[in-house]
Amino acid sequence: MKFCSECAQPVSLLIPPDDNRPRFVCEHCGTIHYQNPKMVIGSIPLWDADGESRVLLCRRAIEPRYGYWTLPAGFMENDETTDEAAMRETMEEAGARVELHELFSLLNVPHVHQVHMFYRATLLDLDYSAGVESLEVRLFSESEIPWNEIAFPTVSHTLKQFFADLNRIKSEGGCYRLHTRDLRKPMRQDT
């Protein structure tokens, strides 16, 4: 940020009175331009049929991580709720209708100022199709997931925890729980 978005004068980086960290401040009109983390919200669309549990992944048609696989997810918008964001992104990226369940994972990615959240979801039909930000969309069983071609550590972590819970529930019963984790390092594939 170089200029004030209210009055177009140059901004200064300084600690305002009663604050304890540097902000972009306009000394002309007095506006303090706060910058805060953003939420990336998505779903884990599950299709359970013929004794097999499969999840819907999208292959990215955009940078970063062009060509890599991800769960449908994207930046939450103003005027919507976290659930609405998850369903909207699932429709936009995968053309998929889902019934949304509870929040499954919450992952902090502080070095990029993001919090990622994924909701469990049930895919309602097989009429999905790649949106403009996806090259292709398809269902993967746990053994088919291309672990070395997953776009983001938050997605790898969510998928691993999801299948762990799913397998445990199938064998022992019980229920899903909320998984939280901090992913502090630069984006890597080995988390």
Residues within the interface to a second copy (CB under 8 A): 1-9, 11, 18, 21, 33-39, 75-84, 102-103, 106, 108, 110-111, 113, 115, 132, 178, 180, 182
Q: How far is the CB of 1 from Zn ion (least distance, A)?
A: 11
Q: Which is nearer to a second copy, 34 or 172 (CB)?
A: 34
Mask for 17-36, x = binds Zn ion (CB under 5 A): ---------x-xx-x-----
Binder of residue 124, out of Zn ion, a second copy, none (CB less than 5 to 8 A by kind)? none
Q: How far is the CB of 93 from Zn ion (least distance, A)?
A: 28
Distance, in Å, from the CA atom of 91 to the CA atom of 85, rounded to the nearest integer, reads: 10
Between β-strands 73-75 and 38-49, what pairing exists: parallel, antiparallel or unpaired? antiparallel
Binder of residue 139, out of Zn ion, a second copy, none (CB less than 5 to 8 A by kind)? none
Q: How far is the CB of 173 from a second copy (least distance, A)?
A: 16
72-103 in b/e burial notation, b at 16+ Cβ within 10 A?
bbbebeeeeeebebbbbbbbbbbbbbbebeeb
CA distances from 154 to 129, 176, 182, 185 (A): 23, 18, 9, 12
Binder of residue 80, out of Zn ion, a second copy, none (CB less than 5 to 8 A by kind)? a second copy
Q: Which residue has the tokens 């993967």?
A: 140
Distance, in Å, from the CA atom of 82 to the CA atom of 80, rounded to the nearest integer, reads: 7
